[in-house]
């Protein structure tokens, strides 16, 4: 089979040196004009949130096009899954997809395999999973907001967010021993039960955290300079967002009220009362960076609501009673999607009846959200590319798997 693949020589327009007509740049589709310059926001850059290479084609300060190059963190997750000897062995790998909010990834995978096995987990497991997933959401958004401030030049909110994050990580470390990558939500249950002081500590955290959100708002969100940098910048119209498959705060920031926890419920989310924050274009236009940022801030508040409700009703039980000794699902396939802090994370698990999965495909939210970046960035300035990328909130572990 003869497959021709365009090879892009790093940085050098090879044909120009030879005096011939310059070659088309892959991704751009045409050669450069005289006033345009290719500049790399390279794989190593303080603001690209991981190893992402953004090839900017600029005309002075105006960005004509953006060609993202990913794959620098590709760790062959899907190939590994096919060679696992056990479905449970996949869980630590799944952690490392979105390594910032590891619990959310485990949640989706555990639900998918439990659907294949047709088992029901105890109530206590469901409640703890919801609490941990919402903790994950808070933790991920704190990093997103902190690093967004850092990109804008506000160095202090980042450290405040890290400080608040430490409180959550302390609770999780007491529960399962790990701060970042947990291996906690196993298929059929959890690896450890929560400690006896879990409920008190969680309530104390909720009481501590609400004023901190107000502090973050006072320091960063309503700061005039921050608003000037982000409001009206990087507008993503809602139809474009849906067509590109965007999800999570990116979609909600464009005014589309769509949250899988309410629109396609899973686990026990239908038992909790919470709202879905949506971008309204208060400071600029609907769908700009400020809207996406504020959706995340409000989502943190709603997560605290959910945690408070869940921790009141936490039932007693055994978290490990439903963990199957041998996982051998019947041949079949399932697609399960959950609402992670970044958006819609999908697991497509295909089983062929043996003990190891036939195919595990991850549909990462950041992968799809990142594909909207060229559409948003055309015509903005270089400084705006940083603002837009920060508002999309990507984690390369998920994009590259």
214-273 residues near other proteins, rule: CB under 8 A:
219-220, 223, 225-226, 228-229, 240, 242-245, 258, 263-264
- The CB-of-38 to other proteins minimum distance in angstroms stands at 9
39 binds other proteins (CB under 8 A): yes
- The CB-of-383 to other proteins minimum distance in angstroms stands at 4
Which residue from 203, 132, 123 is spatially nearest to 169, judged by alpha carbons? 132
Burial 166-183 (b: 16+ CB within 10 A, else e): ebbeebbeebbeeeeebb
- The CB-of-257 to other proteins minimum distance in angstroms stands at 10
133 binds other proteins (CB under 8 A): no
**Residue that has been written with the tokens 């021709």 in this structure:** 4
Q: Say how far apart CA 144 and CA 147 lie, in whole Å.
A: 5
Give Cα 342 to chain centroid, integer Å: 3
Q: Say how far apart CA 326 and CA 308 lie, in whole Å.
A: 35
Structural contact between residues 277 and 294, judged by C-beta atoms closer than 8 angstroms: yes
> For residues 117 and 194, which CB has a smaller minimum distance to other proteins in the complex?
117
Footprint of other proteins on 146-175 (CB under 8 A): 149-156, 159-160, 163
> For residues 13 and 381, which CB has a smaller minimum distance to other proteins in the complex?
381
335 binds other proteins (CB under 8 A): yes
Site string for other proteins, 170-199 (x = CB under 8 A): ------------------------------
**Computed from CA positions of residues 27, 70, 366, 351, in that sequence, does the dihedral angle turn out positive or negative?**
positive
- The CB-of-329 to other proteins minimum distance in angstroms stands at 11
6 binds other proteins (CB under 8 A): yes
210 binds other proteins (CB under 8 A): no
Residue 180 tokens read as 């970042």
> For residues 127 and 269, which CB has a smaller minimum distance to other proteins in the complex?
269
Q: How far is CA 193 from CA 172, 231, 238, 355, in A?
A: 11, 44, 42, 26
Structural contact between residues 163 and 297, judged by C-beta atoms closer than 8 angstroms: no
> For residues 40 and 197, which CB has a smaller minimum distance to other proteins in the complex?
40
Q: Which residues contact 218 (CB under 8 A, 6 or more apart)?
A: none
Q: Say how far apart CA 362 and CA 349 lie, in whole Å.
A: 9
**Computed from CA positions of residues 147, 149, 155, 157, in that sequence, does the dihedral angle turn out positive or negative?**
negative
Tell me which stretch binds other proteins (CB under 8 A): 91-99, 123-131, 266-274, 342-350: 342-350
- The CB-of-295 to other proteins minimum distance in angstroms stands at 18
Which residue from 77, 343, 357, 376 is spatially nearest to 230, judged by alpha carbons? 376
- The CB-of-11 to other proteins minimum distance in angstroms stands at 10
Q: Say how far apart CA 33 and CA 107 lie, in whole Å.
A: 49
> For residues 175 and 247, which CB has a smaller minimum distance to other proteins in the complex?
247
Q: Among 14, 16, 26, 354, which residue sits at the site for other proteins (rule: CB under 8 A)? A: 26
- The CB-of-88 to other proteins minimum distance in angstroms stands at 20
- The CB-of-112 to other proteins minimum distance in angstroms stands at 10
Q: Say how far apart CA 115 and CA 319 lie, in whole Å.
A: 18
Footprint of other proteins on 356-395 (CB under 8 A): 359, 361, 363, 367-368, 370-371, 375, 381-384, 386
Concatenated DSSP letters of 47-78 = TSSSS-EEEEEEETTEEEEEEEE--TT---HH
Footprint of other proteins on 67-86 (CB under 8 A): 70-71, 74, 76, 78-79
Footprint of other proteins on 268-327 (CB under 8 A): none
- The CB-of-181 to other proteins minimum distance in angstroms stands at 22
């Amino acid at each position: 089979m003869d497959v021709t693949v365009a090879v892009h020589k790093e940085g050098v327009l090879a044909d120009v040196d030879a005096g011939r007509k310059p070659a088309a740049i892959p991704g751009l589709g045409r050669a450069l004009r005289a006033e345009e310059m290719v500049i790399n926001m390279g794989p190593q850059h303080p603001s690209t949130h991981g190893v992402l290479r953004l090839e900017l084609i600029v005309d002075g300060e105006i960005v004509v096009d953006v060609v993202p190059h990913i794959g620098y963190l590709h760790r062959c997750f899907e190939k590994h899954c096919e060679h696992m000897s056990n479905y449970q062995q996949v869980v630590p790998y799944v952690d490392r997809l979105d390594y910032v909010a590891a619990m959310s990834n485990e949640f989706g995978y555990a639900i998918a395999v439990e659907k294949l096995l047709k088992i029901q987990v105890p109530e206590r497991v469901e409640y703890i999973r919801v609490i941990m997933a919402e903790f994950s959401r808070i933790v991920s958004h704190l990093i997103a907001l902190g690093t967004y401030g850092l990109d804008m030049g506000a160095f202090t909110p980042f450290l405040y967010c890290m400080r608040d994050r430490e409180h959550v990580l302390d609770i999780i470390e007491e529960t399962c021993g790990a701060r970042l990558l947990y291996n906690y939500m196993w298929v059929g249950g959890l690896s450890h039960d929560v400690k006896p002081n879990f409920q008190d500590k969680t309530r104390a955290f909720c009481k501590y955290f609400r004023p901190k959100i107000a502090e973050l708002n006072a320091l960063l969100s309503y700061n005039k300079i921050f608003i000037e940098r982000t409001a009206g910048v990087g507008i993503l119209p809602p139809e474009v967002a849906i067509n590109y498959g965007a999800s999570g705060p990116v979609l909600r920031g464009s005014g589309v009220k769509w949250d899988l926890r309410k629109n396609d419920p899973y686990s026990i989310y239908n038992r909790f009362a919470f709202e879905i924050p949506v971008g309204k274009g208060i400071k600029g236009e609907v769908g700009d960076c400020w809207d996406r940022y504020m959706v995340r801030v409000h989502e943190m508040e709603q997560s605290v609501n959910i945690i408070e409700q869940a921790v009141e009703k936490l039932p007693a039980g055994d978290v490990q009673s439903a963990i199957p000794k041998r996982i051998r699902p019947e041949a079949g396939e399932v697609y399960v999607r959950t609402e992670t802090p970044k958006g819609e994370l999908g697991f497509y698990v295909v089983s062929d009846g043996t003990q190891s999965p036939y195919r595990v495909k991850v549909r990462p939210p950041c992968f799809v959200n990142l594909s909207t970046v060229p559409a948003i960035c055309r015509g903005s300035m270089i400084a705006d590319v940083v603002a837009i990328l920060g508002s999309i909130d990507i984690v390369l572990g998920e994009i590259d798997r």
